[in-house]
Amino acid sequence: MNKQDAIERIKKISEYPATYPCAIVRTPNAIEVIKSINEPQINDEQAWNKIAEAYPETVQSLRITLDHAVFGHKDELQKVKVPAFVAEKMKRYKSALWMLSSEYFDTSSEVDSDELANWIDQNSETFFRAWLDGYEVEEEPKYRVNIGGLYLKEPLADTNDFTISMTWNKDYAYPFDSWNMAREHTSELGGTVEKV
* Mean residue pLDDT across the chain: 77
What is the sign of the dihedral through the CA atoms of 81, 85, 88 and 93? negative
Q: Which of 10-14, 58-62, 104-108, 155-159 has the highest mean pLDDT?
A: 10-14
- Model confidence at 9: pLDDT above 60: yes
Distance CA 183, CA 192 (A): 8
The residues, any chain, with a CB within 8 Å of residue 63's CB and separated by 6 or more, are 48, 51
Average the pLDDT over each of 70-74, 79-83, 102-106 and give the range with the smallest value.
70-74
Q: Where are the domains of the chain?
A: 3-35, 44-75, 80-137, 143-195
Distance CA 61, CA 53 (A): 14
Q: What is the pLDDT of residue 82?
A: 92
CA 158 from centre of chain: 45
Helix (H) or strand (E) holding 33: helix 27-35
> pLDDT per residue over 159-171, tens digit each?
566 677 888 888 8
